Structure 1
């Protein structure tokens, strides 16, 4: 599984093209801006886009959905709690398959009700649930510090330390990290009670 990480827009978003190298089938995660660059990568690598997947519904992760769906004919996948227009609904534990690759859907609310992470082939695409060195904000509609606490500590904390982490924004000291590294260095991943976490998040 080859990851093309593209920083887009003025909010330091990451869009990903994740390629199954056996078959050249691929998915696009969170298309928003710089769509021409995505088209160039698709063309250069002769990729067939099977799905467009959104880690959550916020506009800076979904703005390019319709244009990319139109040009690639790929259906749009979102979590069942998303209220945006999409073609395929997923829930916790589902798999998104393309070529010989697959990513497991983990429902990780907190930043938004419909936030998901995608895990497979030693990688985690964490959207705005977890950044390198921080986490997504909880003060937007549908945000919840309590839900984020459970997503971080009941879901992500139990995953393999070696997972290479690709997040939704380039907000940290590096563009990628590992889950193990974040457990050590990321202040939001330090063990504390739910109450302490909620207070810390303000």
Structure 2
């Protein structure tokens, strides 16, 4: 599975092209701005886009949905709690398959009700659930410190330490990290009680 990580827009968002190298079938994760660059990579590598996938519904992760779906004929996938227009609904435990590759859907609410992480081939696409060095904010509609605590510690904390972290924004000291590295250096991944976490998040 090959990953193209593209920083887009003025909010330091990451859009991803995830490619099954056996078949050149690919998915787009969180298209928003700078779609020309995305289309150039697709064309240059002769990729067949199977799906457009959103980690959650916020506009800075979904702005390019319609345009990319139109230009590639790929249906849009979102979590069942999303209220945005989409073609395919997924829930916790589902798989998104493209070529010979697949990513498992983990429902990880906290930043938003419909937040998901996509996990497979030693990689996690975490959207705004977990950043390098931080996590997504919880003060927007649908945000919950309590839910984020359980997403981080009941779901992400138990993943393999070597899993490579690809997050939704370039907000940290590096563009990628690992789950193990975040357990050591990320203040939100330090073991504490739910109450302590909620208080820390304000």
Q: Distance in 2 between matches of 1:156 and 1:139?
A: 21
- How far apart are 1:158 and its partner, in Å? 0.6
The aligned counterpart of 1:30 is 30
Structure 1: give runs of 5+ residues left out of the alignment: none
Q: Distance in 2 between matches of 1:179 and 1:186?
A: 10
For residues 144-166 of structure 1, give each alpha carbon's deviation from its aligned partner in whole angstroms, at most 9, with x where no partner exists: 00000000000000110000000
How many pairs align? 202
TM-score (norm 2): 1.00
For residues 152-195 of structure 1, give each alpha carbon's deviation from its aligned partner in whole angstroms, at most 9, with x where no partner exists: 00000011000000000000000000000000100000000000
Q: Distance in 2 between matches of 1:161 and 1:104?
A: 17
Q: Distance in 2 between matches of 1:25 and 1:114?
A: 26
Aligned-residue CA RMSD (Å): 0.2
Q: Distance in 2 between matches of 1:132 and 1:159?
A: 16
- How far apart are 1:24 and its partner, in Å? 0.2
Q: Distance in 2 between matches of 1:171 and 1:61?
A: 15
TM-score (norm 1): 1.00
Q: Distance in 2 between matches of 1:172 and 1:112?
A: 21
Q: Distance in 1 between matches of 2:2 and 2:15?
A: 14
- How far apart are 1:53 and its partner, in Å? 0.2
Q: Distance in 2 between matches of 1:126 and 1:162?
A: 15
Q: Distance in 1 between matches of 2:183 and 2:95?
A: 25
What SS does structure 2 have at the residue aligned with 1:106?
A: strand
What SS does structure 2 have at the residue aligned with 1:18?
A: strand
- How far apart are 1:70 and its partner, in Å? 0.2
Q: Distance in 1 between matches of 2:137 and 2:55?
A: 15
The aligned counterpart of 2:160 is 160
For residues 75-129 of structure 1, give each alpha carbon's deviation from its aligned partner in whole angstroms, at most 9, with x where no partner exists: 0000000000000000000000000000000000000000000000000000000
For residues 45-89 of structure 1, give each alpha carbon's deviation from its aligned partner in whole angstroms, at most 9, with x where no partner exists: 000000000000000000000000000000000000000000000
Q: Distance in 1 between matches of 2:2 and 2:172?
A: 22
Q: Distance in 2 between matches of 1:193 and 1:49?
A: 42
Q: Distance in 1 between matches of 2:74 and 2:111?
A: 26
Structure 2: give runs of 5+ residues left out of the alignment: none
